[in-house]
Amino acid sequence: MSVVVLLHLKAKPDSFETLKATLAAILPDTRAFEGCLGICACADAEDNAMLVYERWQTKADQEAYIGWRAGRGDLDKLATLLRAAPVFETREDVFA
């Protein structure tokens, strides 16, 4: 059963535009990652926040992806732009 992962990111006020640009640069690699069924992001400029909507074939696929990003150092770089820890919510994809 496929899953939806919602990723909540809250940028530091002076890092919001950099966060948007970073996501735009890395999301094509995410889309190409094994098991990714789709990904998109939306922005809340008032709160300097981003919401990333991910669909994966399995939770294990998404976990493998996060491990790959961590191993490359991408998550550490992303963390420098954030004012709070990223929040992941995983849900069953009911209407896929």
Enumerate the β-bridge partners of residue 29: none
Q: What is the CATH number of the domain that holds 21?
A: 3.30.70.100
Q: Would you say residue 1 has pLDDT above 90?
A: no
The pLDDT, as a whole number, for residue 72 is: 96
Place of tokens 């939306």: 42
Continuous segment of H or E residues that includes residue 14: none
The structural domain count of the chain equals 1
Cα–Cα distance for residue pair 90/18, rounded to 1 Å: 26
pTM of the shown model: 0.93
What's the confidence (pLDDT) of residue 95?
82
Domain of 62 in residue numbering reads as 3-92
Q: Does pLDDT of 96 surpass 70?
A: no
Q: Is the pLDDT of residue 65 over 70?
A: yes
- Residue-wise pLDDT for 30-60, tens only, equals 999 999 999 999 999 999 999 999 999 999 9
